[in-house]
């Protein structure tokens, strides 16, 4: 029941729901001495914020974050960093009609099965909006990673049937921030946008794939046998709402390969050990090997659609048909990128502290 925290040394606890009073996070275990301002967090939140373009929800939250504790004279002081965002533009009216009628693909029914009750307004805590807590935690984690020049980026590689062509690692960030779908392939990006708008027009939605890459991750991160780096990254990514698959390196492609074709061989580069290929995605035996971490996650189509769907009225115990009104993203991929980076950053920050590569008391 205490599943709202993650991490061992860098521990983030989040709270809040879509239409409640506020959302936020408490970050415990951030070493003292780290420069941290409100804007470090706000900048990340702005990337995730709704309302930025025609392919995201029209809900108009400004999402201004307030830091309540943990900062002293502009730096962290080793005590918990609490940060909060007040909900402003919540409109629960659209949800009254479906309050006993679980929406297909959403947690309405399963949360009710577990807790006996469900805050149906805007998806409650099951809403994508609850990921502002992830982003707050990720923003602080990214500041820690920056101490070691570690950088986490992400981009959309597929929307529906449209797949992006591979782009060199060094260009992904630049290219993917130039379009609203966050795709690094300039040819595919407008097609993806079009496909999303088309789905939206039909009252439907689309799934996709997001790739996350972490650069400059030192070798040696990961705790076999149950706290392996890839295992904890998989948990972090799969735990984001709408994610139904995670792969590292070549992932599912490896299933149809031979070892002779895909084993990453070692060589020396200026005295440093590198691999000629990176099919492993930077993690072998559950521990990072110094190469870039490469992960991908499968994102299902946003389940909230305005087309009619069949469900059951839990109170009347009868089968019914619903149409979901409210404001929704016709494809969650563009906005989920920031969330994915955030959870990856949190896992890496945690492991850097667990290995002592960052001093856990003060930086």
Q: In terms of Cα–Cα distance, which of 122, 100, 104 is closest to 112? A: 100
Considering the complex, what minimum distance in angstroms separates the CB of residue 23 from a second copy?
A: 7
Choose between 190 and 218: whose C-beta lies nearer to a second copy: 218
Report the C-alpha dihedral over residues 238, 240, 241, 246, rounded to 10 degrees. Answer: -30
Q: Per-residue string for binding with a second copy, 15-54, x by CB under 8 A?
A: xxx--xxxxx-x-xxxxxx---------------------
d(CA 140, CA 121): 29
The answer to whether the CB of 197 falls within 8 A of the CB of 281 is no
Choose between 188 and 287: whose C-beta lies nearer to a second copy: 287
Q: Which of residues 313-332 bind a second copy (CB under 8 A)?
A: 314, 317-319
- Contact partners, residue 233, CB within 8 Å, separation at least 6: 246, 248, 293, 295, 344, 347
Q: Cis link prior to 225 (omega < 30° from 0)?
A: yes
Q: Which of residues 114-133 bind a second copy (CB under 8 A)?
A: 114-119, 124-126, 130, 133
Choose between 174 and 359: whose C-beta lies nearer to a second copy: 359
Interaxial angle between packed helices 132-146 and 333-354, expressed in degrees from 0 to 180 and rounded to the nearest 10: 50
Among the listed ranges 55-63, 88-96, 174-182, 227-235, the one in contact with a second copy (CB under 8 A) is 227-235
Neighbours of 156 (CB within 10 A): 27
d(CA 211, CA 228): 20
Q: Judged by CB under 8 A, does residue 230 bind a second copy?
A: yes
Q: Which of residues 238-277 bind a second copy (CB under 8 A)?
A: 238-239, 241, 244-260, 262-268, 271, 273, 275-276
Q: Per-residue string for binding with a second copy, 158-177, x by CB under 8 A?
A: x-xx----------------
Q: Which residues pair with 75 in a beta bridge?
A: 35, 72
Q: Judged by CB under 8 A, does residue 184 bind a second copy?
A: no
What burial class does residue 10 get, using C-beta atoms within 10 Å of its C-beta: 0-12 exposed, 13-18 middle, 19+ buried?
Answer: buried
d(CA 349, CA 67): 20
Q: Judged by CB under 8 A, does residue 6 bind a second copy?
A: yes
Considering the complex, what minimum distance in angstroms separates the CB of residue 32 from a second copy?
A: 4
Considering the complex, what minimum distance in angstroms separates the CB of residue 30 from a second copy?
A: 8
Choose between 22 and 325: whose C-beta lies nearer to a second copy: 22
Choose between 174 and 277: whose C-beta lies nearer to a second copy: 277
Among the listed ranges 142-150, 167-175, 184-192, 307-315, the one in contact with a second copy (CB under 8 A) is 307-315
Considering the complex, what minimum distance in angstroms separates the CB of residue 256 from a second copy?
A: 5
Among 167, 189, 284, 349, binds a second copy (CB under 8 A): 284
Among the listed ranges 39-47, 52-60, 334-342, 355-363, the one in contact with a second copy (CB under 8 A) is 355-363
243 phi/psi in degrees, rounded to 5:
-85, 130
Assigned token pair, 42: 């706000």
Q: In terms of Cα–Cα distance, which of 159, 132, 119 is closest to 299? A: 159
Total residues contacting a second copy (rule CB under 8 A)?
159
| Alpha carbon of residue 187 to chain centroid | 25
Neighbours of 116 (CB within 10 A): 7
Q: Which of residues 51-110 bind a second copy (CB under 8 A)?
A: 66-70, 72-73, 75, 77-82, 84, 102, 104-110
């Amino acid at each position: 029941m205490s599943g709202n925290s993650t991490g061992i040394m860098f521990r983030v606890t989040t709270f809040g729901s879509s239409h409640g009073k506020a959302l936020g996070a408490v970050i415990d275990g951030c070493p003292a001495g780290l420069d941290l301002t409100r804007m470090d967090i706000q900048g990340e939140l702005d990337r995730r914020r709704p309302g930025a373009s025609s392919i995201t929800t029209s809900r108009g939250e400004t999402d201004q974050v307030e830091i309540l504790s943990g900062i002293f004279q502009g730096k962290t002081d080793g005590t918990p960093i609490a940060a909060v965002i007040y909900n402003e533009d919540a409109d629960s009216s659209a949800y009254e009609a479906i309050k006993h009628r679980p929406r297909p693909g959403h947690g309405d029914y399963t949360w009710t099965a577990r807790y006996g009750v469900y805050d149906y307004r805007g998806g409650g805590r099951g809403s994508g909006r609850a990921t502002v807590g992830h982003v707050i935690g990720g923003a602080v984690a990214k500041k820690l990673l920056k101490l070691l020049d570690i950088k986490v980026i992400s981009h959309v590689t597929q929307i529906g049937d449209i797949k992006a062509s591979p782009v060199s690692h060094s260009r992904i960030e630049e290219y993917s921030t130039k379009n609203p779908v966050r795709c690094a392939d300039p040819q595919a990006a407008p097609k993806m946008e079009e496909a999303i708008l088309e789905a939206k027009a039909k009252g439907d939605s689309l799934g996709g794939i997001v790739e996350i890459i972490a650069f400059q991750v030192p070798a040696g991160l990961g705790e076999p046998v149950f706290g392996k780096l890839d295992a904890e990254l998989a948990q972090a990514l799969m735990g984001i709402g709408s994610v139904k698959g995670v792969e590292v390196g070549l992932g599912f492609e490896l299933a149809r390969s031979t070892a002779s074709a895909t084993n990453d061989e070692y060589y020396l580069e200026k005295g440093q050990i590198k691999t000629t290929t990176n099919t492993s995605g930077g993690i072998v035996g559950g521990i990072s090997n110094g190469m870039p971490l490469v992960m991908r996650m499968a994102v299902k189509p946003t389940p909230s659609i305005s087309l009619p769907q069949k469900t059951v009225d839990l109170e009347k115990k009868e089968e019914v048909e619903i149409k979901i009104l409210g404001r929704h993203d016709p494809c969650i991929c563009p906005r989920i990128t920031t969330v994915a980076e955030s959870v990856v950053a949190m896992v890496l920050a945690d492991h850097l502290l667990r290995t002592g590569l960052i001093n856990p008391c003060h930086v």
